[in-house]
């Protein structure tokens, strides 16, 4: 068991960390405040190859590993969650279905732009009545004369409404009890993106509802075999949990960094508050839980790279890292005192960004269910 990262992975980690500090940190507060999508940053990350890290070079990707991808997501989230989720959702949810289940023609047509970040991919799973009960899909697609006609609605979809959004992979009923995935490209008649949600956090990311009204796409836009949609999206969600787990540990690390720096600077009763045991206990607890969650997340990524089953470990990592992010950001705000409640301090944004990590990509309750089932309960 080797806990050392190889040279290539260490280089990527340092490079992403430097980029986050130098390029993202100076504008993160403004992006959040103005709810401005980070087009320029996405473009730069695409040029650096980070929008397609885990995909083979033959498809335009960087040929990296799942572990390298997770570490890149972690480093971005240490500074800003909106930028991180844009890359994370694009890679894990938007591009993975095309890479995993797409035909040769679909891959040739879509993968180069997706892997380079020139186009963003989205995943249309969640509906008003199909959240945790993801199989309760109401969106329908009927096939007639070589054309699929789609009718329905999706909600809480990331990356579908930007100027560079390319497609959404939509889950739909294609028969009685039969769920399939279909590719719907932006600009298709009958496919509309609603106004962005007013959110608690992730304010610089794109999240909005989608509607499909007699939306027609060619028969060849079916993603993988007909009726395989349920199995497909469960696998995609497993992969997505690695990325979101990386966001959790990245956010917790960012909160710890800010809390420690502030505690060493802030003085009370004649000494830095970092010298008080009450503050030290908070920092120690966050640090210890963070290391455990990081190891779980990295293990899930490595298991995926080895071709082994990672469903259990990814769910465990997601459960622990999300809860940790909420706790760590709360404690970071507490250590900052009144300043932690002021938007000029990053921990205020971190606190708002954290809560979704216990909801998105499967709620904590769903993770517990997945874990219990994997244990044989």
Residues serving a catalytic function are: 361
Residues 6+ apart with CB under 8 A from 92: 236, 239, 240, 242, 243, 244
Tell me the Ramachandran region of residue 224: left when phi exceeds 0, alpha when psi lies from -120 to 50, beta otherwise: left
* Structure letter (DSSP) for residue 196: P
CA 90 to chain centre: 8
Sign of the Cα pseudo-torsion (170, 175, 176, 179, in order): negative
Q: How many residues can be counted in the chain?
A: 377
| Count of CA atoms in the C-beta half-sphere (13 A) of 318 | 30
Dihedral of the alpha carbons of 144, 150, 151, 155, in degrees to the nearest 10: 170
Residue 306 buriedness (CB in 10 A; 0-12 / 13-18 / 19+): exposed
CA 244 to chain centre: 5
CA 362 to chain centre: 12
CA 31 to chain centre: 18
Sign of the Cα pseudo-torsion (276, 281, 287, 288, in order): positive
Do 38 and 86 touch, CB atoms closer than 8 A? yes
**What is the chain's Cα-based Rg?**
21
Q: Give CA–CA dist 126/135, Å, rounded.
A: 10
Dihedral of the alpha carbons of 242, 118, 55, 355, in degrees to the nearest 10: 0
Q: How far is CA 131 from CA 163, 316, 333, 361, in A?
A: 27, 20, 31, 10
């Amino acid at each position: 068991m080797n806990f050392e990262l190889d040279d290539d992975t260490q280089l990527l980690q340092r490079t992403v960390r430097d980029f986050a500090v130098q390029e993202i940190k100076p504008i993160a507060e403004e992006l959040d405040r103005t709810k401005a999508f980070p087009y320029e940053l996405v473009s730069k990350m695409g040029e650096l190859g980070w929008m397609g890290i885990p995909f083979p070079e033959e498809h335009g990707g960087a040929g990296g590993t799942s572990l390298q991808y997770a570490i890149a997501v972690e480093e971005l989230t240490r500074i800003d969650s909106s930028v991180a989720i844009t890359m994370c959702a694009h890679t894990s949810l938007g591009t993975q279905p095309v890479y995993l289940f797409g035909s040769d023609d679909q891959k040739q047509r879509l993968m180069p732009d997706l892997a380079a970040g020139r186009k963003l991919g989205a995943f249309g799973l969640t509906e008003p009545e199909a959240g945790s009960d993801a199989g309760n899909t109401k969106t329908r697609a009927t096939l007639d004369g070589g054309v699929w006609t789609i009718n329905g609605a999706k909600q809480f979809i990331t990356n579908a409404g930007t100027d560079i959004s390319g497609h959404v992979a939509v889950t739909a009923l294609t028969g009685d009890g039969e769920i399939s995935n279909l590719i719907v490209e932006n600009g298709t008649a009958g496919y509309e993106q609603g106004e962005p949600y007013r959110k608690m956090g992730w304010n610089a990311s794109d999240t909005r509802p989608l509607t499909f009204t007699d939306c027609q796409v060619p028969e060849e836009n079916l993603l993988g075999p007909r009726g395989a949609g349920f199995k497909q999206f469960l696998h995609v969600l497993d992969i997505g949990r690695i990325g979101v787990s990386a966001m959790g540990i990245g956010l917790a690390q960012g909160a710890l960094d800010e809390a420690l720096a502030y505690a060493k600077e802030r003085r009370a009763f004649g000494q830095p508050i970092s010298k008080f045991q009450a503050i030290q206990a908070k920092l120690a607890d966050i640090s210890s839980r963070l290391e455990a969650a990081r190891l779980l997340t990295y293990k899930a990524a490595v298991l995926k790279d080895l071709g082994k089953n990672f469903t259990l470990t990814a769910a465990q990592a997601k459960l622990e890292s999300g809860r940790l992010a909420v706790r760590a950001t709360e404690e970071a705000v507490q250590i900052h005192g009144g300043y932690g409640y002021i938007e000029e301090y990053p921990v205020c944004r971190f606190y708002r960004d954290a809560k979704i990590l216990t909801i998105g990509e499967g709620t904590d309750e769903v993770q517990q269910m997945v874990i219990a089932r994997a244990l044989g309960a």
